[in-house]
Structure 1
Amino acid sequence: MALKGKKVAILIESDYFEPEIFYYQRRFQEEQADLHFLTRLWGQSSLTFKGHEWHIPFECRESFEGMSDDVLRSYSAIIVPSGMVADRLRYPTDVHQLAPATELLKRAFAEPTILKGIICHGMWLMSAVPEVVRGRRAVVNNNLIGDARNMGIDFVDQDLVVDRDLVTARTGDHAPIFARRIIDMLACQ
């Protein structure tokens, strides 16, 4: 009940890590968060994605495309999950523009009242805007350490790292400690 009235967004795409996403569904619901799964709908009313491990379908009906600043600021937290979600969401239609998900996160980083949670491979979404995370302390999946350092991130070899409004965790298997920290931080706001 600690999050009643708090809006939490979780980005979603194909190749999501099912245990992580299903954990968030239950855990944030248990805290009575107003939970929203957001994606790029490509003009569709909904899209169904398949998970990475068991290919479980997950339907999403909400888009972050065209989200106004007011709506963005209505979220208490935005979470970029593990797996290949970030890689799929960083696809730009026009190579001269940021992918909509990257643009959303760039705007969210300009709002210190929005907690940003990035786990495992999620930091890939920030690779086109390294200035947003440069100098921030964070952890990523072990095979992204070079990418993180190239973005100017101060890589910390821990399973969970908090740097002001940024919470990062090493892998999708760390979802319980990641979610716990986000819940605790939001409950104190």
Structure 2
Amino acid sequence: MTTKALAGKKIAVLVENEYIPEEIAAYQTRFAELGATVHLMSRLWNQPSVRFVSDVDEVGKELQYLDVNMDFQNADINNYAAVIMAANYTSVRLRYFHPPAGQLISPQQTKTAPAVQFFAKAMHRSQIIKGFLCHGLWILTPMPELLKGRKVICHEVVLADIANAGAKYVSSETGIVVDGDVVTGRSGADVHKFIEVIATCITIPSSSAPAAVR
């Protein structure tokens, strides 16, 4: 893709604890090279900034930290060309919701998690590209109607949940699958291909984009 192909575009990336540092760095570096502005967002709990800690998946690996000062609840989703749910367990943490005072917890309340609501809005806006890497599709499972019938790929750890929500799993040699305005990647290791496909989907109308990238 040509340099600055995404000039003037904004990309939102939702993060939380247990993020993958190399993945976040890839978004910041490559999208910037293409001319886009990357906004890292999370739920800040009425704080001006929250520091998140990285994932450690091997003995001896040092923790890293990420300071985020943008709350997605204050963002206008219509200003973004793409919104991305980061890999690993960030989506699990962002599904947290507050049970109403004095009420027992019910499955329906899972839909009230602010990040779930954020992505539900995005899913209803076809002009916004939605990206879900690795475990990222977990953010949609409280609203299975958002996943029903969509062609996706995901990490095998979450495959049962995604299939039970009605999505159609597609095996892919590239690790990336495109279904219209939704781009999914199998694992964090596929982040570079994931970025290039998202960039292409932003610059090419969804009606002209391939149904799946394999």
Question: Which bin holds the TM-score, normalised by the shorter protein?
Answer: over 0.9
Counterpart of 1:108 in structure 2 is 122
1:150 corresponds to 2:164: yes
Q: Provide the aligned length of Structure 1 versus Structure 2.
A: 186
Unmatched runs of 5 consecutive residues or more in structure 2: 57-61, 100-104, 206-214
Counterpart of 2:145 in structure 1 is 131
Choose which of 70, 80, 89 in structure 2 pairs with 1:75.
80
> How far is 1:8 from its partner?
0.4
Counterpart of 1:27 in structure 2 is 30
Counterpart of 2:65 in structure 1 is 57
> How far is 1:187 from its partner?
2.5
1:91 corresponds to 2:96: yes
TM-score by length of 2: 0.84
Tell me if the contact between 2:181 and 2:201 (Cα under 8 Å) persists in the aligned partners. no
Counterpart of 2:50 in structure 1 is 47
Write out per-residue CA displacement over residues 143-177 of structure 1, whole angstroms, 9 at most, x where no aligned residue. 11111110000001111100000000000000011
Counterpart of 1:170 in structure 2 is 186
1:6 corresponds to 2:9: yes
> How far is 1:114 from its partner?
0.5
Counterpart of 2:133 in structure 1 is 119
> How far is 1:84 from its partner?
0.9
1:26 aligns to what SS in structure 2?
Answer: helix
TM-score by length of 1: 0.95
- Mapped to 2, the partners of 1:35 and 1:176 lie a distance apart of 15
Tell me if the contact between 2:141 and 2:147 (Cα under 8 Å) persists in the aligned partners. no
Unmatched runs of 5 consecutive residues or more in structure 1: none
Tell which deviates more after alignment, 88-97 or 29-38.
Answer: 88-97
- Could you tell me which amino acid in structure 2 is paired with residue 135 of structure 1? G
Write out per-residue CA displacement over residues 31-74 of structure 1, whole angstroms, 9 at most, x where no aligned residue. 1102101100000000010110332110000001144xxx2111
- Mapped to 2, the partners of 1:32 and 1:66 lie a distance apart of 24
The runs of at least 4 consecutive aligned structure 1 residues that moved more than 4 Å come to: none
> How far is 1:188 from its partner?
2.8
Tell me if the contact between 2:27 and 2:38 (Cα under 8 Å) persists in the aligned partners. no
